[in-house]
Amino acid sequence: MPWNQDKFERALQTRRFGREAVFFQEIDSTNRWLLENEGRFHTAGATVIAEHQSAGRGRLGRHWEDVFGKSLLFSVLLRLNKLNSAPLGFIPLIAGIALAQTISETCENSPKGLQLKWPNDLLIDDKKVAGVLTESVTSKNKFCVVVGIGVNVYQDAAELPMATRLPASSLHLSGLTISSRENLLAQILFRFEKLYDLFIECRVQEIIQNWAAFSLSSRSRFAVKRGEEVIRGTYEGIGNEGQLLIRESNGNIQEIYSGEIVSETDRQRDSARG
């Protein structure tokens, strides 16, 4: 079904997020557009949505591919006072948590293998279904962060990119029933707004607890790539700045602020999640 902006607005239950919204049938990148046009918006949570991106941006300079009308592609504007809020490293984490909570709480047939991979890949049964790209701009004493989110919703196997770092999937291929993309976005923004309030109020421990519901279980073995270096060890959680904590075999805890998980050798998940 084509995107229906009225239907999205009717489904919205937020105070600010998504209340200012712009929709494009096609654009190069919603992140690029919002970074350049942030001055047009008055509220935190202004949202730009597209049916298709001709030059979708991914993390670490990668491309984000989509098929017209089959993804959820959007960017959310946040305006920050860096002195008062939680550390910026939590922004990608809260976006990922909002995605994971929405899927687990609102989709029929919510999957058991739903997992967040630091900092913000959303996996179902080890396949990536959504990604988050955070970019920022400073203008006239304002610090703006644009959080871009891409969710593969209705793609079939042949419509997914092949040459990706992680195998890709879609919500549809993972067996989930989605009421509509409009409702999905309204639900994501509802949770994102609540998590953003925790972020603004510096309630870091609550964010970390929310993250833990979808992350690797404690002491799982994994490896992370930081530049050219690969660090192996066990998962020790998330630090007070949103950084990944990994314990090496010699007992040292490494703090990873930028990098990506390259392998996981122990896939145990928190049994409480079923």
Chain residues that interact with ligand BTN, rule: CB under 6 A: 29-31, 53, 56-59, 62, 64, 73-75, 121, 131-133, 148-150
Q: What is the largest CA-CA distance in the chain?
A: 57
**Could you give the CA distance from residue 173 to residue 71 in angstroms, rounded to a whole number?**
13
Given the complex with ligand BTN, which of 168 and 204 has the nearer CB atom? 168
Residue nearest to ligand BTN (CB): 131
Given the complex with ligand BTN, which of 155 and 234 has the nearer CB atom? 155
Given the complex with ligand BTN, which of 61 and 274 has the nearer CB atom? 61
Q: Is 259 helix (H, G, I), strand (E, B) or coil?
A: coil
H helices within the chain, ranges in order? Answer: 5-11, 30-37, 90-106, 181-200, 204-212
Given the complex with ligand BTN, which of 125 and 236 has the nearer CB atom? 125
**Could you give the CA distance from residue 34 to residue 15 in angstroms, rounded to a whole number?**
20
Q: How far is the CB of 35 from ligand BTN (least distance, A)?
A: 10
Q: Please calculate the CA angle 42-48-50 and round it to the nearest 5 degrees.
A: 165
* Backbone dihedral region for residue 111 (phi beyond 0: left; psi -120 to 50: alpha; all else: beta): beta
